[in-house]
């Protein structure tokens, strides 16, 4: 959806760079203050690098329980305008969050071979509850973008934590499912010989296994696949995370592609907050589009987060069947997150 940014930019001459910097320094809207919680990890470091590389970001606050001073020092030498500061340990978290517009949370443990995203629940649920509780206290108005898996449970946890603190706004809490869209775009482009940058596949539902529902019928440009190829492609998109976990053979999960996808979502969100119109991204959010209380669909983003939920739209019987089959798993994951948050001290 809404591909408003290429994360990369070519190297440029010092003259071009100084002209560009003069513009960015004088444009008040390009002043996003972004915090990354879990900035020293496998996703956190490359994500922080991509955010540092963006002229949209003026301040980058990096938090983790280890190594953040070093990561911040390293990134601070890059010749882009964002100031970078590292924060270490729970006592420095409040200062890290103060004044932030966007908080991105990749903190937690990654999957290993044989693990499902749900296997991460016990460790990551506590981490997300603790971090989002600090967000609710110290930057209640910020946009909260949760990457930590299982997203199908960590978003309900985040919502319940914000409700407990009396600052809940469903339009500002996002489960980052963008990697599913990025993978769908890439895999469709490979099969059809297209430029992946020109392909846009909405992916709805959740962010685990069969809850990941690519709407190939709504792909731009229009593409057609025989049913057997469509089923194989859909299965690959749903299990692409496991493909990477297996390929890394115990050394982690998708970190670089997740960092790219996380950055893409943040840039779209900041663009929309800056007043850019027509910015659309899919994200796992509080929803009334289906019987599931949380569901990912294309969202029109605006200055205050979700401007409009664009819903599912017209889908094929094959896609309808996937939506129906995802419901029980989605609802169970959501309830698991809500129950955890209600008992979390």
Q: Which residues are catalytic?
A: 207
Nearest to 265 by CA among 235, 238, 305, 294: 305
Bridge partners of 65, per DSSP, are: none
- 148 annotated ligand-binding residue: yes
Q: Are the beta carbons of 180 and 174 closer than 8 angstroms?
A: no
- 149 annotated ligand-binding residue: yes
> Which single residue is written with the structure tokens 């001290």?
345
Q: Are the beta carbons of 333 and 118 closer than 8 angstroms?
A: yes
- 114 annotated ligand-binding residue: no
- 38 annotated ligand-binding residue: yes
- 40 annotated ligand-binding residue: yes
Positive or negative, the Cα torsion across 297, 215, 275, 61?
positive
- 43 annotated ligand-binding residue: yes
Q: Rg (Cα) of the chain, in Å, rounded?
A: 19
- 2 annotated ligand-binding residue: no
Bridge partners of 213, per DSSP, are: 204
- 216 annotated ligand-binding residue: no
- 206 annotated ligand-binding residue: no
- 258 annotated ligand-binding residue: yes
- 296 annotated ligand-binding residue: no
- 111 annotated ligand-binding residue: yes
Q: Are strands 212-214 and 203-205 parallel, antiparallel or unpaired?
A: antiparallel
Q: Are the beta carbons of 301 and 269 closer than 8 angstroms?
A: yes
Round to whole Å and give the CA distance between 311 and 331.
18
List of residues 6+ apart from 70 with CB closer than 8 A: 86
- 64 annotated ligand-binding residue: yes
DSSP sequence for 142-182: SEEEE-SSPHHHHHHHHHHHHHHTT---GGGEEE--HHHHH
List of residues 6+ apart from 20 with CB closer than 8 A: 12, 55
- 143 annotated ligand-binding residue: no
DSSP sequence for 221-233: S-----HHHHHHH
Residue ranges at the known binding site: 38-44, 64, 111, 117, 124, 147-149, 183, 258
Residue ranges at the known binding site for substrate: 111, 117, 149, 183
Residue ranges at the known binding site for NAD(+): 38-44, 64, 124, 147-149, 258
């Amino acid at each position: 959806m809404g591909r408003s940014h290429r994360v990369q930019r070519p190297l440029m001459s010092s003259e071009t760079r100084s002209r560009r910097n003069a513009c960015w320094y004088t444009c008040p809207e390009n002043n996003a203050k972004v915090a990354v919680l879990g900035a020293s990890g496998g996703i956190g470091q490359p994500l922080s690098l991509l955010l540092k590389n963006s002229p949209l970001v003026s301040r980058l606050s990096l938090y983790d329980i280890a190594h953040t001073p070093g990561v911040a020092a390293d990134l601070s030498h890059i010749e882009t305008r964002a100031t970078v500061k590292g924060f270490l340990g729970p006592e420095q978290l409040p200062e890290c969050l103060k004044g932030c517009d966007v908080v991105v949370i990749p903190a937690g443990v990654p999957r290993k071979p044989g693990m499902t995203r749900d296997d991460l629940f016990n460790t990551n649920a506590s981490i997300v509850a603790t971090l989002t509780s600090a967000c609710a206290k110290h930057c209640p108005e910020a946009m909260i973008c949760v990457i930590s898996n299982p997203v199908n449970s960590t978003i309900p946890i985040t919502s319940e934590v914000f409700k407990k603190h009396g600052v809940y706004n469903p339009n500002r809490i996002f489960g980052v499912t963008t990697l599913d869209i990025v993978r769908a775009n890439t895999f469709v482009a490979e099969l059809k010989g297209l430029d992946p940058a020109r392909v846009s596949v909405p992916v709805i539902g959740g962010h685990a296994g069969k809850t990941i529902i690519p709407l190939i019928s709504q792909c731009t440009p229009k593409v057609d696949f025989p049913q057997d190829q469509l089923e194989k492609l859909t299965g690959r998109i749903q299990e692409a995370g496991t493909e990477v976990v297996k390929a890394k053979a115990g050394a982690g999960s998708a970190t670089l592609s997740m960092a790219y996808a996380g950055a893409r979502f943040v840039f779209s969100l900041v663009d929309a907050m800056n007043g850019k119109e027509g910015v659309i991204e899919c994200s796992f959010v509080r929803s009334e589009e289906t019987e599931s209380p949380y569901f990912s669909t294309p969202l029109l983003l605006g200055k205050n987060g979700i401007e409009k939920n664009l819903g599912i739209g017209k889908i094929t019987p094959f896609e309808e069947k996937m939506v129906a089959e995802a419901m029980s798993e989605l609802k169970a994951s959501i309830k698991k997150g809500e129950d955890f948050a209600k008992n979390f001290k």
